[in-house]
Amino acid sequence: MVETVADRPLPQASKVNLMKLIASLSLATYPDGNSPSIASSAVALVKPIDAALHAAVINVDIPDVSNALSKYLLDLPYKIQEVEASSRKRGKDLLEAIAQEAMRAGVTLTTQELAAPPAFMGDTAAEQCRYFDICLVGWASDNETARMTAEAVVFGSGRPTLIFPDSAEVGVLDHVVIAWDGSRVAARAVADARPFLERASTVTVVTVTDEKPLPGHGIGERLALGLRTRGLVAGATSIQAGDRSIGIALQEHALGLGGKLLVMGGYGHSRVRDFVLGGATEGILTDLRLPVLLSH
């Protein structure tokens, strides 16, 4: 008798073990630090998807370029020590706030303190994020450091990056809006958003029809049909940006629908440290109005 694979009992070791997701939160400390209220938002984002949280503060490490004249006239070494101490203090305060929030919510937390020169703080955050499943970055309109960190993580980590207002309360992400143009990066964003899509009560696919040529008609409904086939409650709609930037148009439409999370591809690339952004990505990073999951 010839034994087939189907005849053999599966070995005990072949049972599937689901890996727990780990989200990495990058915290800016210099020159502008994240708001302490980022703690509750970050925990609120990871708890519904049953993810652990790793919080990493990026403290500043300023190279000593002083000479005898600068020491005499400016006392530069002391000023550097003062700035670095302030950065570390801000980082410790942020980690303490997150530790308290994670304990209250029952979220598993690990923490890390890193240091980097001012020009490489974003790159350090991006490199750190590569060891985790999802990157979290807080954003504020008056915090250029947060924007630079978000850009570096989106384009340098190789991981999906969830950018969210660090001082606004993040509610339940029960309505996910997908910005869909049929592109590779948009497809990757949908795949990366799976933990959030699986837990959403509603999914809406939005296609902007007047921004660029699309690969066909009805592409939004085609994606929505695929999501419904997978068991999600999904629909599709199309909009025109008009004279608005594409990023603002998508966010306004998402908020008008009651959307709590916008999922989209991150367009752009780094050219010798100068980020060249696509229109939609530029609009998001310049004027963020709700949590946005970007994949590049």
Per-residue burial over 77-115, b if 16 or more Cβ lie within 10 Å, else e, is eeebeeebebbbebbeebbebbeebbeeeebebebeebb
Taking alpha carbons only, the member of 128, 125, 127 closest to residue 149 is 125
pLDDT tens-digit series, residues 158-182: 999 999 998 778 889 999 999 999 9
pLDDT value at 278 more than 70: no
261 close to 196: Cβ distance less than 8 angstroms:
yes
**CATH 3.40.50.620, the chain: domain bounds:** 22-165, 175-295
pLDDT tens-digit series, residues 207-255: 999 888 888 889 999 999 999 999 999 999 999 988 988 889 999 999 9
Sequence-ordered list of residues with C-beta below 8 angstroms from that of 176, at least 6 positions apart, any chain = 193, 196, 197, 200, 202, 203, 204, 259, 260, 261, 262, 263
Taking alpha carbons only, the member of 158, 45, 148 closest to residue 102 is 45
Average pLDDT of span 123-131:
96
pLDDT value at 75 more than 80: no
Angle at 156 between CA 153 and CA 161, to 5 degrees: 35
pLDDT value at 11 more than 70: no
**For 175-295, which CATH superfamily applies?**
HUPs (3.40.50.620)
Cα 133 to Cα 153: distance, rounded to the nearest angstrom: 13
pLDDT value at 280 more than 90: no
pLDDT value at 8 more than 80: no
pLDDT value at 271 more than 60: no
How much is the pLDDT for 287?
86
Taking alpha carbons only, the member of 29, 94, 33, 93 closest to residue 62 is 29
The CATH label, of 3.40.50.620, 3.50.50.60, 3.30.980.20, 3.30.1360.120, for the domain at 22-165 is 3.40.50.620
Question: What is the DSSP track for 36-86?
Answer: TTHHHHHHHHHGGGT-EEEEEEEEE-------HHHHHHT-HHHHHHHHHHH
How much is the pLDDT for 240?
93
Cα 186 to Cα 206: distance, rounded to the nearest angstrom: 11
Average pLDDT of span 8-36:
76
Gyration radius from the chain CA atoms = 22
How much is the pLDDT for 72?
53
Beta bridge partners of 112: 56
How much is the pLDDT for 129?
97
pLDDT tens-digit series, residues 57-68: 999 998 876 555
How much is the pLDDT for 5?
38
Mean confidence (pLDDT) of the chain: 86
pLDDT value at 10 more than 50: no
- Predicted TM-score of the model (pTM): 0.85
Task: Give 234: exposed, middle or buried? Use CB within 10 Å, 0-12, 13-18, 19+.
Answer: buried
How much is the pLDDT for 267?
61
How much is the pLDDT for 236?
97
